[in-house]
Amino acid sequence: MYVHAQDMLKTLITSSHVLPGSSVLDMLWATKNICNSGYGVFDTLFSVLTELGLLEEASECFSRMRRFKVFPKPRSCNFLLHRLSKSGKTDLSWKFFEDMLSSKITPSVFTYNIMIDFLCKEGDMKTAKGLFTQMKQIGVMPDIVTYNTLIDGFGKVGQLEEAVCLFEKMKGANCKPDVITYNALINCFCKFEQMPKAFFYLREMKENGLKPNVVTYSTFIDAFCKEGMLQGAIKFFVDMRLVGLSPNEFTYTSLIDGNCKAGNVNDALKLLQEMLQAGVQMNIVTYTVLVDGLCKENKVEEAEEVFKRMLKAGVEANQKIYTALVHGYFKTKKMDKAMNLLKELSEAGIKPDTSLYGTIIWGLCEQNKLEEAKALVGEMNKCGVDTNHITYTALMDAYFKSGNESEALKLLQEMQELGIVPTMVTYCALIDGLCKAGMLEKASSFFRRMPDVGLQPNMLVYTALIDGLCRNDCLEEAEKLFDEMLDKGMDPDRAAYTSLLVGNLKHGKLEEALSLRDKMVDLGLELDLPVYASLIWGFCKFGQVQEARNMLNEMIEKGVDPDEAVYSCLIDKYNELGYMDEAIALEKEMIRRDTALFSNCPDSPRCLQSSMESPTATICQKGKLHVAMCSGVDQTVNKMAMSFSKEVFPSTCIVCIVCWHIMTINLHKNNIRNLYLSAGSMTNSYLTECCYNDQTFQNISLRGYVKSNSVALLTHATVREDFARL
């Protein structure tokens, strides 16, 4: 009946030279007795305003109609309420709902469902639950949509018991759960890492004759990927296709993200290819996880290509993908590109958010560009971009690491003045930084004041302070803190045990250190390189060289690779005790295991010449210098080795290591004459006073002379001088 009137009203309202909707209402009211059109025309006007998206005018129209005692139909009111809630107009939505009730417009289950859905999306579960109670009190019975909305809402905010309680009430009210109900429950338990519960509802769902859909499978796949359980995710991915379900963009994106986070970028790219071949389009989330994954694997150029393809496909970039790219640039030391990208964003009128600024500040801190990072914090405040505890904590930590404790403490004061509350992470960085700077009293003071700001120190904070106390020879205080952790029900991690173990060793408490080692084993904490290295050092320090050797064997059996320090510690002890055969055997083992003596040396790619004819030819790669040196069993190469070591390490006692290394090899090969010649050549041409006076050097020389049983060598002037020095 009102179709023509509706079209006319649309034309009238959308025309540029006609009065607004409220004025049209006044005109209709003024002519109602002349036209005798009935009150339906007012409902039509109200509906047209809503349909055209003129929501505020529709609300104003409703207020004027109330004054005339004329009201739209409940269905029209629900339509406006729905549009208002979807537009995010919180205050207007709530006001209109209250106006409906006060105008005696009977709300239906649809009315309540709209408001409950709106409140759940806002996270206001208390008010949503209140409306649920209210609707039942006035005789409006909740339907399956009501229950599903509330179960999903409680689940998303982590109120899992409330979600389950509603689920049980739903069944008690003869409202049969559907696939959406079970998906909501499964999603909330997956989200909060309670997979057994999620599987329980999956089984119940199937027992009730309901078939899992794409959402069900995708939820499990996403949960498995987030927990790093890729095999479980792949199983569900295969199963869903076996039952005839096609993965959607959410399914593929979860798997691509999971593979990227696991470092399987090639597998992620294969999934992407499969996704595109299946006709599933990439969305912004897919592009973002792919760019992020490539950047984390240092494949920034490939990430740039993906980014370009995204723009070409018409997908608008968001802050997250820019943040991923910037992180990749800084990670690969391409600071200029990162800063240029920030400049491009600014020129394009795109305002970086807190996360993007935070990533740039982190990157600058990693490059030790602390002043630039601090200036960027000032820019954030100037531009109205909120700084947060993450930004300040990163900068504060960087200042501590650079040795500028005063600036770090100023930043703490600044963040507090801005009303930014320091978090547990902030205090952890603060206490760790102060401890490493030797400012134990200040660190302890901040530790004690944490409860005053509503924070109870966690395991990481305790560990930071325990480590600091042990480093500064305050073992007794460290042990008290460790016991305090245990009393509070905390489970110290490997780092806490290691700090205390090292502290005991430094104080000569070998038995206590071994007891801590045993506790770690009992608790299932795997011993790592620092633990083994510390114990081997401790055994060597107390002369228990066989126990040290046993510990070395154990770490190798456990798959922990010894480093240079571990081998050097034990070899030095063997040499000190005169156990030259054992020292040589261990040296041989070190060579066999391909442990690089100079793996940490920035000049290690440089190497020895293979022959006098080809001085630029190399016989070793990075980290392989010791292998090349092992060929030094003739005088020519010995000279070259020493020449090289003197050039690379002109003023350090690393030359000592090179000396005794070459001599040990000659001794082991029974090339005694060459050992003597090497020693003489080194003494005359290469050795510093430090090297010549080194006990290890002298021990090897003497052992070679005695082993030779050569009167000629023993009577040589140089040898007599060596004995005089010994």
Beta bridge partners of 609: 618
354-366 helix and 335-347 helix, angle to the nearest 10 degrees: 150
Query: CA 646, CA 652: separation in Å to the nearest integer?
Result: 9
For the chain, which residues score pLDDT lower than 50? 1, 17, 19, 595-642, 644-655, 657-658, 660, 665, 667-673, 675-677, 681-688, 690-692, 696-697, 700-726
524: left (phi over 0), alpha (psi -120 to 50) or beta: left
- Cα–Cα dist 475/617, whole Å: 53
Angle in degrees, CA 222, 227, 232, rounded to 5: 65
| Nearest partner of 478 among 429, 444, 522, judged by Cα | 444
Instruction: Give SS3 for 350.
Output: coil
43 within 8 A of 76, measured Cβ to Cβ? yes
Instruction: Name, in order, each residue with C-beta under 8 angstroms of 685's C-beta and a sequence gap of 6 or more.
Output: 639, 642
For the record, the structure tokens of 193 come out as 């890492």
Dihedral sign for Cα atoms in the order 77, 78, 82, 83: negative
Measuring CA to CA, how many Å separate 199 from each of 217, 427, 453, 713? 11, 39, 40, 82
What φ, ψ does residue 402 adopt, rounded to 5°? -85, -5
Q: What is the DSSP-derived secondary structure letter of residue 315?
A: P
pLDDT at 713: 38
Cβ–Cβ < 8 Å for 76, 55:
no
Q: Spell out the residues 6+ positions from residue 424 whose beta carbon is closer than 8 angstroms to its own.
A: 455, 457, 458, 460, 461
**Which structure tokens are listed for 398?**
């960087």
CB 314 within 8 A of CB 282: no
Q: Which residues pair with 618 in a beta bridge?
A: 609
What is the reported pLDDT for 314? 92
pLDDT tens, residue by residue, 11-65: 666 665 454 555 565 555 555 555 555 556 666 776 777 777 777 777 777 777 7
Q: Contact at 8 Å (CB) between 628 and 608?
A: yes
Q: For residues 232 and 225, give the distance between their C-alpha atoms in angstroms, rounded to a whole number.
A: 8
**Are 585 and 667 within 8 A, CB to CB?**
no
Which structure tokens are listed for 426? 């902030």
- Give me the DSSP letters along 626-679: HHHHTT--SHHHHHHHHHHHHHHSTTSTHHHHHHHHHHHHHHHTT-HHHHHHHH
Which of 571, 585, 689, 671 shows the shortest CA–CA distance to 631? 671
Q: Which residues of 385-403 are buried (b: 16+ CB within 10 A; e: fewer)?
A: bebbbbbbbbbbbbbbbee
How is residue 395 written in tokens? 């900068």
> Could you tell me which residues come within 8 angstroms of residue 266 by beta carbon, excluding any fewer than 6 positions away?
none
